[in-house]
Amino acid sequence: MTESAVSPGNTDIGALQQHESLGADTLAPVTSAVATKNVVTEASLNPVPLNPSPLKPTPIKSSSLWYLYLVRCANGHLYTGVTTDVARRFSEHQSGGIKSAKYLRGKGPLTLMYQEQVGSHGDALRREIAVKKLSRSQKLALIESAEYR
Average pLDDT, the chain: 76
Give the list of residues 6+ apart from residue 75 with CB closer than 8 angstroms, or none.
107
φ and ψ of 82, to 5 deg = -130, 150
Fold of 66-147: GIY-YIG endonuclease (3.40.1440)
Residue 70 CB coordination number (10 Å) = 20
- Calculate what percentage of the chain has a pLDDT beyond 90: 45
Asked if the model's pLDDT at residue 139 lies above 70, the reply is yes
Domain ranges of the chain: 3-45, 66-147
Q: Provide mean pLDDT across the span 5-32.
A: 52
Return the higher-pLDDT residue of 106 and 129.
129
Do residues 20 and 6 make contact, with C-beta atoms less than 8 angstroms apart? no
Q: Provide mean pLDDT across the span 103-132.
A: 93
- 17 pLDDT band, cuts 50/70/90, is low
Q: For the ranges 96-105, 109-118, 120-129, which has the lowest average pLDDT?
A: 96-105
Do residues 76 and 106 make contact, with C-beta atoms less than 8 angstroms apart? no
